[in-house]
Structure formats: structure tokens, C-alpha cells
Structure 1
Amino acid sequence: MEATGTEEVDKLKTKFISAWNNMKYNENKLLHARSGCTIEDHVIAGNVEEFRKDFISRIWLTYREEFPSIEGSALTTDCGWGCTLRTGQMLLAQGLILHFLGRAWTWPDALNIDNSDSESWTSHTVKKFTASFEASLSGERELKTPTISLKETIGRYSDDHEMQNEIYHRKIISWFGDSPLALFGLHQLIKYGKKSGKKAGDWYGPAVVAHILRKAVEEARHPELQGITIYVAQDCTVYSSDVIDKQCASMAPDITDDKAVIILVPVRLGGERTNIDYLEFVKTFHCPSPKKMSFRKMDPSCTIGFYCRNVQDFKRASEEITKMLKVFSKEKYPLFTFVNGHSRDYDFTSTTTNEEDLFSEDEKKRLKRFSTEEFVLL
């Protein structure tokens, strides 16, 4: 009964926010009608629609139910415990969108969704939506949902580039399917989590999830994923030479291009609550969205992610981020740092792994240290 009451409260909040936004934007339209539309008015109105399209285009991965049971358990849902794993999936999905499609890409069908509010997306709807995406790639069955039929969707595109983008979009989503075979699906992530003492039903902290994502990408053998890697910072420190080494490493002798990298930095923004000294800096990474939360309510343990397309992009990003760290960091305690050289130059134990043990002893110690982080923002 308590959970049902909470759900009703959440639904009421969502309806209230939607009503407020409708009143707010309708009021703007009335003001424009009275005062006359200017070029600036059109730009602002266009920005709202562009933002909405961009926001809906972000891949949304959340609690699911009735998927195949997770190995070693009878669980067929991650409701109540998979929040950080899902958030980690979304972070990785966004990195892959940037890698394959670029930042300017938006989903052509984003504004065709009848109702983009979360309350309209029931678990049944989400299951049908995801299953249709997977089936469109595998050709296992005919799709009954015309709005996401691959053949019909591709038929609307005017050039090969748009068609190729849609194929990549669907392929990325299929990698996160709730299936034991999906490369970055919940089943695979939990399998890697077992190496750090985690199991299905446990709460996963952001540092643990960061290492799980790194291992999942490293173990992926899909040809199109060989051009991207993940680096996880050690003790809030990004060692530039370690990052570049990962970018320049290649599994195939004929590949000479440097890899793209997703840099994950597990940090703590305070003890039990977020330290207010970090708020201004954290805001520089916060993309305003239709729904938000107070920084004071945010769990202080989190992971910050960056995407760099190549070595040159990484060097440029590290310089710019370092400048921001200096500006926003009070006293001499930045949120994290970029350091030249390798971690071994500073007497850190190497984090190399072998096939028999996916996590090194050093990684296991760090993951154990972060094992108490629960219900966190990635």
C-alpha cells in the first residue's frame, strides 16, 4: 500500500508539473499574440521545440519487468534495485550516440510520440517498443507497430545518410536489450558485477557501475565497437598517458586510427549530503531538463562522464576542463584532476587484467571500497 501511495504522489506531481508548463507556455503564446511576434519570439518558440526533440531523442533505459530470468536468480525485474545500472546504461548509450551519430543527431520520430510524459510509458508499452526494435534488426517476426517499423521508417528518408543513422540508432538500442545476449544488457552487466562481489538484487554504486561498463566495452567483440574504449579514473585522478595508451591500443594490426574514449570519473561530492562548495562546478555539467531535482537532494556519490573522439580531442578537453576546475574549485580541493604521465609513475599498482579474472586485485579493492554507494546519480 505504501508503494502504491508513493506512485500516486509521483503521478500527481507529474500532472501538476505538466499543467504548470502548459499554463506557462500558453501564457507566452497569449503575450505574443497581444504584443505582436518578433524575430526573437520565433527563435524562443523554436528553441523550445528543438529542446523537446533533443531531450526525447536521448535513449531512455529504466526499470523493466518480465524479462528472461537473470542467471543465478529467479529475478525477472530490476524494479527497486537496478537504478544505477540503468543510469549507467543511459550514459553509455549517449556516448555511443555521440560516437556513431554525432551530437547534432536527433530522432526523426521524437515529436511523433503521442505523450512523452513518463506516466504514459507503462512497462507493457516499453516492452513492446524494445521488442520491436530488436525484431527489426534480427528479422525474427513482422512488426505490428507501424511507427517503428524499420522498412517503413527507412522509406521516409531522402538519402542514404539518414537511413544509415536510423540503422545505427536501432542497433545501439538493441545492444541494451533485456536479453542475456545483448552486449550491454542488464544480464551482461550483472555477470561482470559478480567479479566484484555483486549479484542480481544488490544495489550498485556509481564507481562499481563505471568499472562494469568499462569491462563490458572491453569484452565486446562486435567489429563496430573496436573503435571506442572506456577509461575509469583512479581516486579522482585522470592520468593522461594512461588514457592515450588506451586510445592508441588496437586489437587488429591493420587499425592505425586512435580510439574514441569515454572517461568516467567516480567522485564523492560530500559525506551524507552534497557539499555546497561543489554546486557551482556541478552545474557546469547539468543539462536543464523538463524534470529536475535539488542539488541538496542529490546523493553525494556519483560518476561524471566525458566523451572524446580521438587523442587530439582528449587533449583539448583535458585543457578546458582543467581551466574550469581551477575556476570553480574553492581553496585547493578540486573535484578531480588531470595529471600528466601514467598512474605507475605515482606508485599506483597496475590495473591490468587476465582472462581468468576480469578485475585485478587493485580494482577489487577499489570496488569494495565503493560498495556502500546506493541510489546514486550517474
Structure 2
Amino acid sequence: MLRCGQMMLAQALICRHLGRDWRWNPTEPEESYTRILKMFLDRKDCPYSIQQIAQMGVGEGKSVGMWFGPNTVAQVLRKLVAFDSWSNMAVHVALDNTVVQEDIRKVCCGSRETQCGHASSTQPPSNKSVHETKSDARAESAFTRAWRPVLIFIPLRLGLNEINAVYVKRLKRCFTLRQSLGVIGGKPNHAHYFIGFVGDELIYLDPHTTQPALTTDKWGFLQDEGYHCDHACRMNIHNLDPSIALGYYCHDEADFEAWCKDIQQVIKEQDLSPMFELTEERPSHWPPFDPGQSSMETSFGVLYTTAGVKARDKSVLHVSSKQWNSTSRATGTNDRGSCCTYHNARILTDVYQHRHEGSLHTVASVSLMDKSSRSRIDHENSFINLLVTCW
């Protein structure tokens, strides 16, 4: 997943510095192109190296060597981009399947330091010359309050163990937007970078290719053939792991407004089930927006049910835990339905906390006690687990 995150970010930087219409010319590499590639070399002093990504992942609860999920790699890249004064690009990671336009505007119109609350103390090593650093600083001061290009990550979970079929058409539709950078995801412990589709087959790039690490020669020339491939792979969309992250790049404010308009059209298409929401302002129950805050550090929860329990008429859900003021949503048999439980059932919770995929989860072990029998129902016969996710 680290390599897939690198590929999506590299594509965003290509759009940022060279434009979407740029094409690779191996005989005449452009200066900006070469500079972008050097930022991804496998050296600790390169800003987007795999070493930097792994080290920054520690702040997201991932020790070096642990597998990253789409949300974690998005949060890590958001922090690293904050140190890139040359690109002067904003990164926004959507929370709880909701894209808030107001938050993105704040990130795009703010300075780079607002993206990372600890920029001064955690800045990674730089391989730039003093002249380049001063030049970048002058450029940034002139455009600090102007609209910055933005890379938007939308982490999603489109099912429990496999992708829900109702999202297939919507996912393919997202690839057709002009601002799309593709999708990072894949299979468990086997990540891919998806760049398009043909029918029900996704087109992807596979980073699992062993090759020598690329370096510059004594003249500073970069052997870049390993950054490109002659063919792409395909995989059936129904085999996709449900945990993914969409990527979009908006170059300026007009491009962002056009993207919002296109996304609204996609969401309104009645024959498709929406994968996420686009709102103008933050929901009232959310905490104030902090551009430097990761998903682990926010202080609100969303209540999910993972049970495939059929709801009876007039069923009521009671949660005894006082630790969370949560919004309820079902992710069982009806992904976007109301919470499912039994009529006149009493739910007892036993809460404990653990970390998973860069987010803080609270698992409530739930027992259903029917008034007539008062018998304890086990998992296979309607024992359910409630996941309270603190994004």
C-alpha cells in the first residue's frame, strides 16, 4: 500500500507541475519530471521515499514494517506533503464517508503549516540546495493566501468482507470524472493502484515487482525506466477488497467547483447507490475543523452495526454505554438503512478500545435479552457486535 500511495501522489504531482496532458518522453526528460522522480527515491533524505512514509506512519499507530491500509497511507501522505514547499499543494482526507467543501476551501486557502500541526518539530530531512529552499520560500510567501492545488483522498469501506454489489456502478462512475487519480486498494495484504476499468474489469498497476533501487549516476542522470511499465493488469471488480481510497486532484478553485458539481450529479443518479456524501458545511455534531489533525485524533464517534439481523416493526435500539454520543448507521444487510435489532430488546454493552487501520475503534459486545425468554442469544443466533468508530 505504501508503493500504491506513492504512485497516486506522483500522479498528482505530475498534474500539478506538468499538466494532465503531459506524456513521458524517455529521450528528453523535463526538469520538473526529473525533480518529481528524485523525491521518491529509496533514500531517507528524499521527502516521499518509502523510508519517510514508514517513519511517518508511526504517528498513525503503525510501527515500521506493519501493513498500511488506504486511510493510513492517505493520512501519512497528507503530513509529508505539508513539507513540500516546491509543490505548495494541499491534501485533504475525508472523514466518515463525508466530503465537506468548507474544510477543503480552508485547507486550500491556508498556509502549508496548517496541514501539519507539528511541521517545525517533525520536518524530514531535505536534499534540496540552499538556493532551491530560498526560492521555494519566496514563491510560497507570494501564494500563501491564494488557492492551492489540492489532492483529495476519500477513504471508504464498501462492504464487510467483500464489496457490496450495489456500489459497483458508482465506483466505475467515479473513474470517469476528469479530476480522478484512480483508486488505491486491492486484496488483503496485496495492494494495487487502479487507474480505470473495462466492463467489470479494473485496470491496475501492481507494485509487487522486484527490481534494483533507482539511483542517479555520477552526472546526476536518473535511470527512470523502472518507474514505467509496458502493460497494465486487470482484475474483476467483484474481487476488490471493500477497503479503498478514492483520489482526486483539483488544480484551482474553478476545477474544484467543477468537481463538486460533477460529484453532486453522480450522487443524485437514482439508479446508483451513493458511496459517500458531499456537503457544504460540517455536520453540527462534528468537532471544529483542524487541518493538522489525523483521523486518530478526532473526538467524535459513529455507531455501526455489523450484524445481519432482520429488523422487526417498531424495533428500538438502546445503548447503555455513556462514553459515546454517537450517530447510528447500519452496515449489515442494508448498508445505508437504520440500525437493526429486535423489538423490546435490551442491549448491554461491554466497551473496550483498540486501534485498527489508523483509527480508534470501540467494540461494544452486545447481548440481546428478549423480555419473554430472558435468554442470552449467541452470535450465530442473533448475537451482534456494534462497532463505534472514532474517526
TM, length-normalised to structure 1: 0.55
**3-state DSSP class of the match of 1:105?**
coil
Q: What are the superposed Cα offsets for residues 193-226 of structure 1, whole Å, 9 maximum, x if unpaired?
A: 00122122211110111111111111x1x43122
Q: Which residue of 2 is the match for residue 97 of structure 1?
A: 14
Residue 326 of structure 1, aligned match among 257, 260, 268:
268
Q: Which residue of 1 is the match for residue 297 of structure 2?
A: 361
Q: Which residue of 2 is the match for residue 347 of structure 1?
A: 286
Kept after mapping to 1: 8 A contact 2:287/2:300: no
Matches within 5 A, 1:230-245: 230-245=91-106
Q: What are the superposed Cα offsets for residues 244-271 of structure 1, whole Å, 9 maximum, x if unpaired?
A: 1111113554324310001100001111
Q: Does 1:275 align with 2:215?
A: no
Q: Could you say what the CA RMSD is over the residues aligned between the two structures, in angstroms? A: 2.6
Mapped partners of 2:68, 2:299: distance in 1: 15
Alignment size in residue pairs: 227
> Where has structure 1 moved over 3 Å in runs of 4 or more?
349-354, 363-369
More strand by share: 2
Which amino acid is the alignment partner of residue 67 of structure 2?
W
Kept after mapping to 1: 8 A contact 2:60/2:296: no
Deviation at 1:329, TM superposition (A): 6.0
**3-state DSSP class of the match of 1:293?**
strand
Kept after mapping to 1: 8 A contact 2:100/2:279: yes
Mapped partners of 1:363, 1:263: distance in 2: 22
Which amino acid is the alignment partner of residue 223 of structure 1?
S
Matches within 5 A, 1:152-167: 153-154=27-28, 166-167=30-31
Q: Does 1:254 align with 2:254?
A: no
- Quickly say closer, same or farther: Cα 1:311–1:105, change in 2 above 3 A: same
Q: Which residue of 1 is the match for residue 71 of structure 2?
A: 207
Percent identity between matched residues is 29
Which amino acid is the alignment partner of residue 338 of structure 1?
L
Mapped partners of 1:183, 1:329: distance in 2: 43
Kept after mapping to 2: 8 A contact 1:95/1:262: yes
Mapped partners of 1:216, 1:329: distance in 2: 39
Kept after mapping to 1: 8 A contact 2:287/2:298: no
Deviation at 1:176, TM superposition (A): 0.9
Q: Which residue of 2 is the match for residue 370 of structure 1?
A: 357
Q: Which residue of 2 is the match for residue 73 of structure 1?
A: none
- Quickly say closer, same or farther: Cα 1:363–1:216, change in 2 above 3 A: farther
Matches within 5 A, 1:113-132: none
Mapped partners of 1:342, 1:365: distance in 2: 15
Kept after mapping to 2: 8 A contact 1:353/1:359: no
Residue 193 of structure 1, aligned match among 57, 78, 101:
57
Deviation at 1:347, TM superposition (A): 2.7
Deviation at 1:348, TM superposition (A): 2.8
Q: Which residue of 1 is the match for residue 24 of structure 2?
A: 107
TM, length-normalised to structure 2: 0.53
Q: What are the superposed Cα offsets for residues 274-306 of structure 1, whole Å, 9 maximum, x if unpaired?
A: 111111111121514442101121111000010
Mapped partners of 1:347, 1:200: distance in 2: 32
Deviation at 1:350, TM superposition (A): 3.6
Mapped partners of 1:253, 1:173: distance in 2: 25
When structure 1 is superposed on structure 2, of 363-372 and 279-288 the one drifting more is 363-372
**3-state DSSP class of the match of 2:298?**
helix
Mapped partners of 2:280, 2:271: distance in 1: 20
Q: Which runs of 5+ in 2 are unaligned?
A: 113-139, 176-194, 198-202, 204-231, 303-353, 360-391
Q: Does 1:336 align with 2:225?
A: no
Mapped partners of 1:339, 1:307: distance in 2: 18
